[in-house]
């Protein structure tokens, strides 16, 4: 594969270590430059050693260290309007999204809705956005760095554009994980499992994104992902076939919880509890053979962002597909993980939980008193309290979570159908990200994603920390402005 590492100069910027793969089309190279400069492909003029690159031929002299000149502007060229004013009722969904300034959508590049939905859900984490923004390019082209830079590029584009074509992220994903590049009989990309994509992307980011620091935090983590997405189990395993064998204790780390589904499970909480109390088969040192163990797990560290995977796909050997369980499993907009935690962690959670209750009770009492007097309820200023333990930045210090994003699947198997991302905007307002079509939604529509039919069904949930807002008491000086003669 003829690869060259070159420098690209554009205006006052220089992009170093840019890889040119002449096995790919010129258009794909231009798309790569678009992710770096935001100069649209149709406006790019590329020159090297006095020659201008053609659209259909690598006709410029390339070698390692060559300097390529990119000409073009990233700003939109202002032209006189040629269309009549279009009213809201006459707009399509995509036109309406732009008119009311909805967040950017992602173009589907051929069965890539699984990737688009994953990116939109992960982008809902503000700390992850900030961490990627600060990430600096390093020497070399290792897989984790390539994926991290591609994610950074997409997030950067989404800050500036109404619609983004994530071609570089897709190409990098295909290069690092060839299973996602599989094609069907007609040469089109095959549908892929969104949870597999989610897991693989986090594994790559896990190796490159550094931990965040605070003045009080003393707990160390290998990376940002373990710090903000990672939890810990305290596990106990007891052999059910040998009373003489002592139970073994161990710790396990997780980046997501699994909600198992069977005939009895109707709610997410009960599906999670199945994961915490299960039977497994492993070799017994006492019996010197495989035996059945009861494994009990309790959470000893809650992450700020808790990912929950609904285990909806079951492999059917005869058909050769991952068939989907369509059963209706209810999930809450507000989730309390307290009873899934170890006694030690529960004790640590109590102070902030008590603070939540005190503030909520005080607000109810004050509201009732104001109503009895017939006064108007005025909104008070508040401040957000810290959601993590002082010594553990990236943890959850209350056990309370608020649903932040939902990734759904519509169809009958993981290798077909359609994936969509649903992300909370503010309060009860949500956005539905159906590739490049973005639509406003309300919380009650999110609760309809619990399953039971061929409608969009929740597959991945992302819960963020519930924020405790403490009222700020205004002093008399603040409440009554001083008069000036």
**Taking the domains of the chain in order of start, what are their residue ranges?**
3-74+93-206
Instruction: Work out the mean pLDDT of the chain and round it to a whole number.
Output: 88
Quickly state the pLDDT bin for 329 (edges 50, 70, 90). very high
User: Quick one: average pLDDT of 423-444?
Assistant: 95
Token code pair at residue 460: 């991945």
Q: Tell me: pLDDT of 380 over 70.
A: yes
The string of pLDDT tens digits covering residues 209-268 is 999 998 888 899 999 999 999 999 999 999 999 988 999 999 999 999 999 998 899 999
Greatest distance between any 2 Cα atoms in the chain: 93
CB within 8 A of 264, min separation 6: which ones?
270
> What's the number of CA atoms in the CB half-sphere (13 Å) around residue 119?
34
User: Quick one: average pLDDT of 408-425?
Assistant: 89
Residue listed under structure tokens 């794909």: 28
Q: Say how far apart CA 284 and CA 244 lie, in whole Å.
A: 11
Q: Tell me: pLDDT of 483 over 50.
A: no
Q: Tell me: pLDDT of 405 over 70.
A: yes
Quickly state the pLDDT bin for 33 (edges 50, 70, 90). confident
Secondary structure of residue 268 in the 3-state scheme: helix
Secondary structure of residue 68 in the 3-state scheme: strand
Q: Check if the beta carbon of residue 433 is closer than 8 Å to that of residue 418.
A: no
Quickly state the pLDDT bin for 56 (edges 50, 70, 90). confident
Q: Say how far apart CA 398 and CA 352 lie, in whole Å.
A: 5
> What's the topology of domain 3-74+93-206?
Ubiquitin-like (UB roll) (3.10.20)
Q: Tell me: pLDDT of 336 over 90.
A: yes
Q: Which residues form the catalytic set? A: 113, 418
CB within 8 A of 313, min separation 6: which ones?
193, 322, 323, 324, 325, 413, 414
Q: Which pLDDT score, from 0 to 100, does residue 319 have?
A: 56
Secondary structure of residue 433 in the 3-state scheme: strand
Q: Check if the beta carbon of residue 326 is closer than 8 Å to that of residue 457.
A: yes
Q: Tell me: pLDDT of 478 over 50.
A: no
The string of pLDDT tens digits covering residues 8-25 is 999 888 888 888 888 777
- Give Cα separations from 342 to 346, 347, 393 (angstroms): 6, 9, 20
Quickly state the pLDDT bin for 34 (edges 50, 70, 90). confident
Q: Tell me: pLDDT of 300 over 50.
A: yes
∠ CA 256-113-203, nearest 5°, is 35
Q: How many CB atoms neighbour CB 96 within 10 A? A: 17
Token code pair at residue 419: 């994936």
∠ CA 266-456-467, nearest 5°, is 70
Q: Which of 13-17, 41-45, 166-170, 213-217 has the highest mean pLDDT?
A: 166-170
C-alpha dihedral (262, 267, 268, 274), degrees to nearest 10: -50
Among 85-94, 277-286, 322-331, the least confident range: 85-94
Provide the strand spans (E) within 267-390: 277-284, 289-301, 306-310, 313-316, 321-324, 334-336, 382-384
Quickly state the pLDDT bin for 368 (edges 50, 70, 90). confident
Q: Tell me: pLDDT of 96 over 80.
A: no
Q: Check if the beta carbon of residue 341 is closer than 8 Å to that of residue 302.
A: yes
How far, rounded to the nearest angstrom, does the alpha carbon of residue 105 sit from its chain's CA centroid? 15
Q: Say how far apart CA 231 and CA 399 lie, in whole Å.
A: 12
Token code pair at residue 341: 């935690």
Q: Say how far apart CA 188 and CA 181 lie, in whole Å.
A: 9
Q: Say how far apart CA 277 and CA 233 lie, in whole Å.
A: 12
């Amino acid at each position: 594969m003829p690869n060259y590492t070159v420098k690209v100069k554009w205006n006052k910027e220089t992009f170093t270590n840019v890889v040119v793969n002449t096995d790919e089309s010129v258009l794909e190279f231009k798309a790569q430059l678009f992710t770096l400069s935001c100069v649209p492909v149709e406006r790019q003029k590329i020159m090297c050693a006095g020659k201008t690159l053609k659209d259909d031929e690598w006709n410029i002299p390339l070698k390692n260290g060559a300097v390529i000149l990119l000409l073009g502007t990233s700003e939109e060229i202002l032209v006189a309007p040629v269309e009549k004013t279009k009213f809201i009722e006459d707009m399509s969904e995509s036109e309406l999204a732009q008119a009311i300034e909805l967040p950017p959508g992602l173009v589907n590049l051929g069965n890539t809705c699984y990737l688009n939905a994953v990116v939109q859900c992960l982008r809902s984490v503000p700390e992850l956005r900030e961490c990627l923004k600060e990430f600096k390019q390093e020497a070399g082209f290792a897989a984790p760095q390539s994926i991290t830079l591609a994610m950074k590029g997409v997030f950067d584009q989404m800050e500036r554009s109404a619609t983004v074509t994530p071609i570089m992220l897709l190409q990098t994903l295909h290069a690092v994980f060839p299973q996602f590049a599989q094609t069907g009989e007609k040469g089109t990309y095959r549908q892929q499992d969104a949870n597999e994509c989610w897991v693989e992307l986090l594994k790559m980011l896990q190796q490159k994104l550094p931990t965040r620091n605070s003045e009080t935090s003393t707990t160390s983590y290998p990376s940002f992902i373990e710090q903000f997405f990672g939890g810990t189990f305290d596990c106990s395993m007891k052999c059910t076939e040998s009373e003489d064998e002592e139970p073994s204790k161990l710790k396990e780390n997780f980046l997501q919880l699994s909600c198992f589904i069977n005939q009895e499970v109707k709610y997410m909480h009960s599906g999670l509890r199945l994961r915490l109390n299960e039977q497994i088969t492993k070799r017994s040192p006492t019996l010197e053979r495989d035996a059945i163990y009861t494994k009990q797990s309790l959470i000893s560290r809650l992450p700020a962002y808790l990912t929950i995977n609904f285990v909806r796909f079951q492999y059917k050997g005869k058909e050769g597909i991952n068939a989907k369980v369509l059963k209706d499993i209810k999930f809450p907009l507000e989730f309390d993980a307290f009873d899934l935690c170890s006694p030690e962690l529960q004790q640590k959670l109590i102070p902030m939980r008590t603070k939540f209750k005190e503030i909520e009770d005080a607000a109810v009492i004050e509201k009732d008193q104001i109503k009895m007097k017939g006064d108007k309820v005025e909104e008070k200023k508040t401040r957000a309290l810290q959601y993590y333990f002082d010594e553990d930045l990236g943890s959850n210090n209350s056990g309370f979570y608020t649903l932040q994003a939902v990734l759904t699947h519509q169809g009958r198997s993981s290798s077909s159908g359609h994936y969509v991302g649903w992300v909370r905007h503010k309060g009860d307002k949500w956005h539905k990200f159906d590739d490049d079509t973005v639509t406003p939604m309300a919380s009650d529509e999110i609760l309809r994603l619990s399953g039971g039919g061929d409608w969009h069904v929740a597959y991945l949930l992302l819960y963020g920390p519930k924020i405790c807002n403490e009222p700020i008491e205004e002093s008399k000086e603040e409440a009554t402005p001083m008069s000036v003669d």
